[in-house]
Structure 1
Amino acid sequence: MKILIYGLNYAPELTGVGKYTAEMAVLLASRGHEVRVVCAPPYYPEWRVAANYVSWRYRCETRDGVTIWRAPLWVPAHPSGLKRMLHLASFAASSLPLLVRQVLWRPDAAMLIAPTLMCAPAALVFARLASASAWLHIQDFEVDAAFDLGLLKSSRAARVARWIESTLLRRFDTVSSITPQMSSRAVFKGVDPSRVVCLPNWVDASTIFPLTRASDYRRLLGIPADQKVVLYSGNMGAKQGIETLADTAASLAARTDVTFVFCGSGAAKENLLERCAGLANCIFIPLQPVERLNELLNLADIHVLPQRGDAADLVMPSKLTGMFASGRAVVAMARHGTALYDAVSPRGLVVPPDDVKALATAITALASDPERRAALGKAARRYAELALSPESTISTFEARLAALGRGSRSKHATGETPYFGGPRSSAAAARRRKPATTEEAAPD
């Protein structure tokens, strides 16, 4: 099949949505599909366009068998609510010429990755013009997150934004999300349950796995063998509630056998650095290359995953899958009944969000109990191997696409025209598919 993936973030971004979008595209290409991507230059989580990329220029490249078209966007150095909106709007506008260019390619399916929902109107129109199935995959419920987390505050704007969101969601042939709870939220927003699919994030357990030796990072960071490492690795942003870790590190400052390692970047990093200033038990390192990820995750004796209580089931931390696969103990902050709680509680420790004392108690208990750490790590690893396979998620995606194709053909046979994602003529379906090249010109 020919599949267009349309989303803001993509590799070589190392964390978050871009990581999973790129892995999905590469997996689909490896299974014989022809995949193109329309995205922005890499900038996340540093909020700075990566070296060798330019924020204001169109660009086309090929990575791992996938043709990638990059559109300009504005990246604020210090993102606030309004600046984030302008940031997203800049990509929604600049990516339009690339979508227009792909209409003649005539993909079978167009998948929009949210965030950003600002691109939904263009994605729906594109799918209609190209006679493609329109698919929305939600990694974050960005509208709810923006208002529930206080990034935007107007109640009137919230009502309007949620009405627009619901209207757009109902127009897609398929809406998917990454947990059952987030998928149910789509139904709550008005999407017909028959159009909703759960596509969990995954981990390649052959590339992330428990090491039988100490991680090289212990030597590089000068951490003695008898120290218990509490690791946070990933984005440092508003949804993480990462300030809780600073308070927890301060509360455990007298515990000389526990070291906190913070690896990552993001809008909240400067605040975290300030809060940890003067704490001898805290080490900060930048995001590490993807080829070093397994070594990094194996640095942990205890992985820690904070999350704000008001972010429950608006997002699902993408870093969790790697934590499980590394075979190390996990402590997460989550409310009972949320997707994060359900994922971690059978194979890790869960404490209430924003409860520094409970988090410190859990870390202390695990630091003093190597047998329990090992047991939890084995359970987490087993879950990653059995339930978080990338092939399982991609197979679900392919099966749904095939069903959408059959539905379109059935409607065509009866003379019914679908609202979005119409059928193709037999001549169009049989046309030769030209391979993508690395040197196609992008608009200037």
Structure 2
Amino acid sequence: MVSTNYAPEHAGIGPYATQIAEHWAAPDGGGAEVHVLAGMPHYPSWRLDPAYRGMWRAEERRAGVTVHRRRHTVPPRQTALRRALFEASVLAHGLVAAPRIRPDAVVAQMPSLAGGVIGARVAARHHVPYIPVVQDLMGAAAAQSGIRGGDRAAAVAGAAEAYALKRATLVGVIHETFVDKVAAMGVDRGRIRLVPNWSHVARPSRPREETRARLGWNRERTVVLHSGNMGLKQGLDVLVEAARRDPSVLIVLMGDGNQRERLRLLAADVPNLEFAPPAGDAEFPDVLAAADVLAVTQRASVLDMSIPSKLTSYFAAGRPVIASVAAEGGTAQEVVRSEAGLLVAPEDPEAFLKAVRALAQDPEAADELGARGPAYVTAHLSREAGLSRMSALLAEALDTTTRGADPVGSDAWGVPRT
């Protein structure tokens, strides 16, 4: 597996890559010899984990998986040039110092452009199946990022993605909204498989009131929690402005990211907006469940096809979601499909507050919305189902290569082709 992000990173793509690799290495997942070519832990803070400071290369064993780490740049501030240097450093070091093993198959987690290209090249070198899994597409993200040089970066990213995807045996996509975009890059639709992400966190284990008391959240106050990356794409200014407009609502931004300090300055005069460090894995589900509302936000200019990993965690927590996102994106579609939350227009603090107040005034309706989240996870987003789909994708790619022909009909787990 090629995945720039991997454990101990606990947000974004890292947990999915880790759980897939560890599943394949475990006896009940096949007991395979699994190697991961990864970067140095840095996400979501975009700061190098101190434990890896000074390392150029490292090899470690984690839960039966051999992880090969290669050094790369870590840009604390995102610009098109710095992101390009980041990807170039991942690509150069990964190609020059790829693990000296002969794989039976290569799986790459995208949107890492470098990871996609490395995966394609390593698979071609050894004449083995190559399976990229599209978690997001950097070309579209760069075009919508608002960072300087975004259009040029989008063109370069799109070309790199097309290079990697067209060389795939099969392409996994985490949501159906990616299918048309991947096909537009020249990938035969018959090679595209839907492999949705799953809820990778445990269910809450402690009473809500106990956790609220520990966190200092007044039981009479409405608490809105946003957990995860604080980047440009999230457009978290809307939550700062919402807090400024309604002092009775406590808004908590939990996590890290390259916009955290800017948001701190923006909210310096807003006493009812708090910043919290990322919660540990053990307490994370309980912290989510202790909030009254869980928020997911995106900038109005972002039509995001991907599903943020926070959303599957939100559903598992059993609290209502308010999604301040474009109605046509993947996040909005999942919220509607789950019936576990409300949609509001992006970057509209008044619309966001109106939804918060509606839920606060009708606790029974809020609890009913929240209860649909765990039910949706059980029916569609369980870890067992997600890992089974990934194993089936790998098995189908190996079988396709062995037979020397493209598969036809249904995919390996009986779902008609997209």
TM-score (norm 2): 0.90
1:14 deviation in Å?
1.6
2:230 is the counterpart of 1:236: yes
Residue 213 to residue 120, structure 1, CA distance change in 2 (3 Å): closer
Equivalent position to 1:377, from 349, 370, 382: 370
With over 3 angstroms needed to count, the CA separation of the structure-2 counterparts of 1:349 and 1:221, relative to structure 1, is same
Matched ranges for 1:259-270 at <5 A: 259-270=250-261
Compared CA separation, residues 78 and 405, structure 1 to 2 (3 A): closer
Q: Which residue of 2 aligns with 1:28?
A: 24
Q: 1:126 aligns with which of 119, 122, 128?
A: 122
- CA distance 1:70–1:274, shift in 2 (3 Å): same
Moved more, 41-50 or 148-157: 148-157
Q: Residue by residue, what CA displacement relative to the aligned partner does 1:372-411 show, whole Å, maximum 9, x if unpaired?
A: 1100011111101111012212222222222222222222
2:373 and 2:228 map into 1 onto residues whose CA distance is: 19
Task: For 2:244, give the aligned amino acid.
Answer: A
Residue 147 of structure 1 corresponds to which residue in structure 2?
143
Shift, 1:181, TM fit: 0.4
1:424 maps to which residue?
A: none
- Where do 5+ consecutive residues of structure 2 fail to align? 407-418
Contact 2:38 2:69 in 1 (8 A): yes
* 2:290 match: secondary structure: coil
Rounded to whole Å, the distance in 1 between the matches of 2:156 and 2:221 is: 52
Secondary structure of 1:137's aligned partner: strand
Q: Which has the higher contact order (CA 8 A, sep 6+)?
A: 1
Q: 1:307: which partner in 2?
A: 298
- Cα offset for 1:230? 0.6
Partner of 1:79: 78
Alignment partner, residue 10 of structure 2: 14
Q: Please say if residues 236 and 267 of structure 1, whose CA atoms lie closer than 8 Å, have aligned partners that are also in contact.
A: yes
Equivalent-residue separation in structure 2 for 1:310 and 1:210 (angstroms)? 38
The alignment's C-alpha RMSD in Å is 2.0
Q: Measure the CA separation in 1 of the matches of 2:148 and 2:188.
A: 28
The AA in structure 2 aligned to 1:34 is E
Contact 1:13/1:43, CA 8 A, preserved across alignment: yes
Partner secondary structure for residue 315 of structure 1 = coil
2:356 equivalent in structure 1 = 363
Q: Percent identity?
A: 33
Q: Conserved in 2, the CA contact under 8 Å of 1:210 and 1:327?
A: no
238, 244, 248: which is aligned to 1:250?
244
Aligned counterparts of 1:391 and 1:360: Cα–Cα separation in 2: 37
Equivalent-residue separation in structure 1 for 2:200 and 2:242 (angstroms): 31
User: 1:41 maps to which residue?
Assistant: 40
Larger radius of gyration: 1
SS of residue in 2 equivalent to 1:73: coil
1:73-222 equivalences in 2 (<5 Å): 73-99=72-98, 101-102=99-100, 105-153=101-149, 155=151, 158-159=154-155, 161-204=157-200, 207-209=202-204, 211-216=206-211, 218-222=212-216
Structure-2 change in CA distance of 1:202 and 1:402 (3 Å): same
Partner of residue 283, structure 2: 292
In structure 2, the residue corresponding to 1:280 is in which secondary structure?
coil
Unaligned runs of 5+ in 1: 418-444
SS of the equivalent of 1:118 reads helix
Kindly state the Cα deviation for residue 73 of structure 1 after the two structures are TM-superposed: 1.0
Residue equivalent to 1:340: 331
Alignment correspondent of 1:52? 51
CA–CA distance in structure 2, aligned partners of residues 335 and 239 of structure 1: 12
Judging changes above 3 Å, is the alpha-carbon distance between structure 1 residues 261 and 121 closer, same or farther for their aligned structure 2 residues? closer
Residue 63 (str. 1) matches residue 59 (str. 2): no
Deviation at 1:157, TM superposition (A): 5.7
Q: How far apart are the structure 2 equivalents of 1:197 and 1:107?
A: 22
Name whichever of 24-33 and 235-244 sits farther off.
Answer: 24-33
**Given the superposition, is the C-alpha separation of residues 384 and 43 from structure 1 closer, same or farther in structure 2, using an over 3 Å criterion?**
same
Give the equivalent residue in structure 1 for 2:413. Answer: none
The answer to whether the Cα contact below 8 Å between 2:292 and 2:319 also exists between their aligned partners in 1 is yes
Aligned to 1:440: none
Q: How far has the Cα of 1:331 moved from its partner?
A: 0.4
| Structure 1 residues 54-92: Cα deviation after superposition (integer angstroms, max 9, x where no partner) | 254211111111111100111123332211111121111
Q: Is the 8 A contact 2:303 2:328 kept in 1?
A: no
Q: Is the 8 A contact 1:323 1:330 kept in 2?
A: yes
- Aligned residues of 2:16 and 2:200 also touching (Cα < 8 A): no
Say which SS state the counterpart of residue 13 (structure 2) adopts.
Answer: helix
